[in-house]
A and B are shown apart, each in its own frame.
Chain A
């Protein structure tokens, strides 16, 4: 109940912020910030309270509410939490607040409506992480898509319509495939038990023969592979990231890509274990290709945001590779990588946004020598670039290390090629940093201000915390 109220509250404060901006300029961002902080605390309080009062560590899915919604299809409004979703929701809250902070000065047009869309996206994302009725999941999956597309299309850069359209069509087509798979599984349940059901926990009990389940699995896999994104369905990502406003990129890279990984874990691997094992070689190949291709493309880019976008493809490749290794160490590595990538790519996109605000360009050729005038910014940029290429001591290192070790035990040849991606990441990380902060100073820029210091500082702190004390995340089993 509390969770539903939190999502509702996001929607209502979004609408309020939209209205309020008309009467008091500047009120929308404060309203959004306050409500996000408050709701995040409420969420934390709720989880802790539930854990204590039920003496439960959320290792298994805890169903929180289940209400009839569409009786004709036996669809329920049912939501549940477990460790995986809690971690991802926590990441969402953090990045949501970062998003409001990075948009603080950037958004000048239609401010109220912007925050409405932002909060709606966040409500949708949280919905995706908690829904355990497949219809409801699909519903939220699309609900988060709409305002995100609006954010790209209204507040984006010069080629925003094309990027938004591409983003939407890729996601929508693949999710229609998923919808067909959802319906087919629901009716398979009808055939097997005499009851139509879209309830996740019912589906877990299904015994689907391999020749059917491989097709069903494929429907889900394609939808999540697009979102992840994996080669060959990645091409929406560089465009969407480049054209989106900073907060859009942060949210997209930080959380939206994670919904793809989350879907792979929860709905592909757990629902269709046999089919996934059978499919693993193909998935792992795609993952390795993504890793190497993403890294290769990244250091060929001249656009700051495009570079980071391609690096995301490479990093998410690690997640997919680790997931399809079916090894508990790799699995944990995948989850740490998800969180770490969420933080580090969000940080890099925020950095791109800060530079863009100062020089109005994303082109690396226009940058250079910023260290002279903005050493604090340079320090943070170096740290985040370091995080991106897996510097020990930062969270990404733990994730990628665990993933590679886990994968090596199962599929050594894949692990070896994937490790090449790490070299690539070191190259593009350095290209990024050198082109922007080193070399002859091209122009003077203002150093970080206190709001920006908070953004960078908190992200770096989180990266360091997980990097130095990975047990923060590793102490959870995440359902394995």
Chain B
């Protein structure tokens, strides 16, 4: 095995550096932020600084979109797909940053750690999407998990913070150790940790160490499935979604899902695991269980964040179909489907969580965020039409109704499954979507429902608040721009298709 040091080429050339420029900017930003904290502790400064870092990284990342795939040492490989995924991650982080602002303002303390953790989380995700090696995968995975644990429990005084943070910490650590063991098993068979390692074909035929290899693979995938909240590794999801501060739930629903899914797809495609029949069987059963269980469990939820947690389980089930039905001839299409679906999923989740955060801001009288239940949506359309519109768009997108990106995403998945003749998966998807409608639609009806007359004075108070909030231009712009994004990309998905394909 060739060690890195004996490589005759320089370790890091300029092309490599420019390929991982966005990640470097974030890393540099983290160091600077630490210095900044030492120099001046001010909420305003650090928020602005974090914003700038993320924004510059986004600009750098967008400019990379047209670049050819570049291998950066053995560890990382930057290509169009990872760049696109990283753009999604950065956008989500920017939105979450803005939504965190007001709830952090409610405290007297200065929250430097919060912003540092946010940046670390983004860095972890950035390493994950670009990783081409089990080592970098694990590095990114841990960066992401540990900073998320910190963020989930950030609200020390909130009722749920200890419970949910602890739950997340324990389960996340278990998952990482499973994954590490799995990687070790895989390494013991292949002797190489790179994704591009050539695996002896005997293993695919279950000869020799095949069984050992499969065990390792199962452990590895279960670690990632934990993060993706795929059933049966989903048990933490509803509790943590509910307990975490809303902007953090938003991050978990977007950044963590996008990064994990991209790296999983990358790994599976590169190592051709799907040639193993057992593995395919496992993934199929995961997908089917997730689709059905996620949707069925969401039906009875009254708490909005728990409901979204279950719906995210179902959506990850839909996405798994993309991996299961992929074949060597359709790799480009697989990437397109997966990334488009992730983009649609991210935009929809961002839209919904923006509105949840905004509603919480209005409702909350104490310093801490309360639970948000379905009844809080009652009559939203007549109180704050723009909020309601964004919420409805997000829900319709999750439900996969035309006019939204979610539909195009579903169209991609269905196309891929149809080509592969995966009729049973399609049937499950259709049943899952039908059950899904049974909770998405009542939410939309709630939004349209009239506010009961006995809370009329309450409504008027709300109206006053909405107007008062109208002064916050950034949030208004955010809401309107997401409405526009959702509609424009839903009707003209070709824009995004071109971005992914380039």
Interface residues of A, Cβ cutoff 8 Å to B: 69-73, 109-110, 135, 138-139, 142-143, 146, 149-150, 153-154, 161, 164-165, 168-169, 172-173, 176-177, 179-180, 183-184, 187
B367: interface (CB < 8 Å): no
Closest CB in chain B relative to A114 CB, distance in Å: 11
| Chain B 256-285 interface mask (CB, 8 Å, partner A; 1/0) | 000000000000000000000000000000
A168 CA to B437 CA, complexed, in Å: 8
Given the complex, which residues of B lie within 8 Å of A143, measured CB to CB? 402-403
B432-451 interface (Cβ within 8 A of A): 433-434, 437-438, 441-442, 445, 448, 450
Contact B497 A183 (CB under 8 A): no
Contact A179 B401 (CB under 8 A): no
Q: Please name the 10 residue pairs, one residue from A and one from B, whose CB atoms are nearest each other, closest first.
A: A142-B402, A72-B497, A173-B434, A183-B418, A176-B430, A139-B402, A153-B445, A184-B418, A161-B445, A70-B494
Contact B411 A183 (CB under 8 A): yes
Apart from the given pairs A153-B448, A183-B415, 11 other A-B contacts in the complex at a CB distance below 8 Å: A71-B494, A71-B497, A72-B494, A72-B501, A73-B415, A109-B450, A139-B402, A153-B445, A161-B445, A164-B441, A180-B418
Closest CB in chain A relative to B254 CB, distance in Å: 24
Q: Among B403, B411, B430, B448, which residue has its beta carbon within 8 angstroms of that of A173? A: B430
B189: interface (CB < 8 Å): no
Given the complex, which residues of A lie within 8 Å of B414, measured CB to CB? 179-180, 183
| Chain B 311-335 interface mask (CB, 8 Å, partner A; 1/0) | 0000000000000000000000000
- What are 16 A-B contacts with C-beta separation under 8 Å? A73-B415, A138-B402, A139-B402, A149-B441, A165-B437, A165-B442, A169-B437, A169-B441, A172-B437, A173-B433, A173-B434, A176-B430, A176-B433, A179-B414, A180-B418, A187-B419
B214: interface (CB < 8 Å): no
A256 CA to B110 CA, complexed, in Å: 59
| Chain B 404-427 interface mask (CB, 8 Å, partner A; 1/0) | 000110010011001100000010
Given A179-B414, A184-B418, verify A146-B442 contact (CB < 8 Å): no
Given the complex, which residues of A lie within 8 Å of B402, measured CB to CB? 138-139, 142-143
Q: Among A161, A168, A179, which residue has its beta carbon within 8 angstroms of that of B411? A: A179
A172 CA to B402 CA, complexed, in Å: 11
A187 CA to B420 CA, complexed, in Å: 11
Contact A110 B382 (CB under 8 A): yes
B493: interface (CB < 8 Å): yes
A18 CA to B433 CA, complexed, in Å: 32
Interface residues of B, Cβ cutoff 8 Å to A: 336, 382, 396, 401-403, 407-408, 411, 414-415, 418-419, 426, 430, 433-434, 437-438, 441-442, 445, 448, 450, 492-494, 497, 501
Closest to A138 in B: B402
Given the complex, which residues of A lie within 8 Å of B430, measured CB to CB? 173, 176-177, 180
Given the complex, which residues of A lie within 8 Å of B407, measured CB to CB? 142
Closest CB in chain B relative to A215 CB, distance in Å: 9
A388 CA to B434 CA, complexed, in Å: 35
Task: Find the residue from B396, B402, B408 having the highest chain A CB count within 10 A.
Answer: B402
Closest CB in chain A relative to B87 CB, distance in Å: 19
Closest to A185 in B: B418
Given A72-B497, A146-B401, A173-B430, verify A187-B418 contact (CB < 8 Å): yes
A153 CA to B407 CA, complexed, in Å: 22
Closest to A169 in B: B437
Contact B438 A142 (CB under 8 A): no
Given the complex, which residues of B lie within 8 Å of A109, measured CB to CB? 450
Given the complex, which residues of B lie within 8 Å of A71, measured CB to CB? 494, 497
A187 CA to B401 CA, complexed, in Å: 22
Given the complex, which residues of B lie within 8 Å of A153, measured CB to CB? 445, 448
Contact A150 B501 (CB under 8 A): no
Given the complex, which residues of A lie within 8 Å of B426, measured CB to CB? 180
Contact B494 A69 (CB under 8 A): yes
A69 CA to B402 CA, complexed, in Å: 14
Given the complex, which residues of B lie within 8 Å of A183, measured CB to CB? 411, 414-415, 418
Q: Among A69, A168, A173, A179, which residue has its beta carbon within 8 angstroms of that of B441? A: A168
Given the complex, which residues of B lie within 8 Å of A177, measured CB to CB? 430
A279 CA to B450 CA, complexed, in Å: 47
Contact A150 B448 (CB under 8 A): yes
Closest to A215 in B: B423
Contact A172 B494 (CB under 8 A): no
Contact A154 B448 (CB under 8 A): yes
Closest CB in chain B relative to A295 CB, distance in Å: 30
Given the complex, which residues of B lie within 8 Å of A73, measured CB to CB? 411, 415
Closest CB in chain B relative to A27 CB, distance in Å: 19
Given the complex, which residues of A lie within 8 Å of B448, measured CB to CB? 150, 153-154
Closest CB in chain B relative to A403 CB, distance in Å: 34
